Amino acid sequence: MTTPYSRVEGLGASRSGTQHFWRERATAAALVLLLIWFACAMLHVAMGGPEAAIAYLAQPLHAVLMILFVIATVIHMTLGMQVVIEDYIHVESQKIALFLLNRAFGWLIGALCIFAILKIAL
Show the DSSP H helices in 1-122 as ranges: 4-9, 17-45, 50-57, 60-88, 92-121
Which pLDDT tens digit goes with each residue over 27-77? 999 999 999 999 999 998 998 889 999 999 999 999 999 999 999 999 999
Q: Above pLDDT 70, what percent of the chain? A: 87
Question: Which amino acid type is present at position 62?
Answer: H
Mean pLDDT of the chain: 91
> Is 121 within 8 Å of 58 (Cβ atoms)?
yes
Query: Taking the domains of the chain in order of start, what are their residue ranges?
Result: 15-121
Judged against a pLDDT cut of 80, whether residue 1 lies above it is answered with no
CATH number of 15-121: 1.20.1300.10
Which pLDDT tens digit goes with each residue over 65-85? 999 999 999 999 999 999 999
- Give the span between the Cα atoms of 54 and 5, in whole angstroms: 52
> Is 101 within 8 Å of 111 (Cβ atoms)?
no
Which pLDDT tens digit goes with each residue over 84-120? 999 999 999 999 999 999 999 999 999 999 999 999 9
pLDDT at position 17: 73
